[in-house]
Amino acid sequence: MLTYGSYLGYGVLCQTRDLLLPSGSHLRLIQQDWTTFFNIWFVVLAADARVGVVFMLAFMTAPLAMAFLVYHTYLIWAGMTTNESGKWSELKDDVADGYVFKSTKREIYGTTSTGSSSCSWPGNSEQILILTDGDPPTEGDLELLLSNNNVQDGHAEGPVDRRWTRVRSMKEVDNIYDLGFWDNLRDAVKLRVK
């Protein structure tokens, strides 16, 4: 809409320019430098101020709207929201620093969860991630994990729990919200996701 508004405003301002500078004017016949070009357009904008202001507003904000469209399309492709992009960025830094460990629900809890029947989201993961200070979790940390406390706040003494493996790359992390571009797009426009 902003691009179309710019186009319409430019068309109206061209008519104003034609009224101010007839086709036989010497300013239209000579090769113009940039100063002359901008001076002519400033006069045209001042002569038709209402259309000029709307044209300038639409013309200057159209790239911003286009940038938001491109960024939003990228987020749909990546399967995340603006808020999540910041969180994934932090998780990426923590993975690079070696603070993140992973395991599966089956290994930690002994069973797999099939998910709640009230949840309509098609994505599911058996992966559990834990953020530490860089030391692998110990066997005594399981009680702290089950009580939803931060493992490192009360780091238990004991041997390293072999069920946890250090995450070396973001490719190892499951993003249950990334269903692929087309399914993410369907979800964004509130259509049923397969």
94 and 41 part of one domain: no
Q: Specify the pLDDT at position 144.
A: 58
176 and 103 part of one domain: yes
Is 25 inside a domain boundary?
Answer: yes
139-147: average pLDDT = 62
Q: Specify the pLDDT at position 65.
A: 95
Q: Specify the pLDDT at position 146.
A: 59
88 and 158 part of one domain: yes
Confidence class of residue 151 from pLDDT cuts 50, 70 and 90?
very low
87 and 71 part of one domain: no
Q: Specify the pLDDT at position 175.
A: 80
Alpha-carbon gap, residue 186 to 180, rounded angstroms: 10
Domain boundary among 22, 54, 77: 77
Q: Specify the pLDDT at position 155.
A: 53
Angle at 152 between CA 151 and CA 158, to 5 degrees: 80
56 and 70 part of one domain: yes
Query: Is a pLDDT exceeding 90 seen at residue 67?
Result: yes
Contacts of 146 (CB under 8 A, 6+ apart): none
Please give the tally of structural domains in the chain. 2
Is 43 inside a domain boundary?
Answer: yes
Domain of residue 29, residue span:
2-77
85 and 170 part of one domain: yes
Average pLDDT over the chain, rounded to an integer: 82
Is 29 inside a domain boundary?
Answer: yes
40-45: average pLDDT = 91
Q: Specify the pLDDT at position 99.
A: 92
69 and 153 part of one domain: no
149 and 103 part of one domain: yes
Look-up of token digits 């492709």:
77
Tokens representing 124 are: 């599911």
36 and 99 part of one domain: no
- Which range (22-26, 109-113, 144-148, 176-180) has the least confidence? 144-148
pTM, entire model: 0.58
56 and 135 part of one domain: no
Q: Is 132 helix (H, G, I), strand (E, B) or coil?
A: coil
Q: Specify the pLDDT at position 176.
A: 76
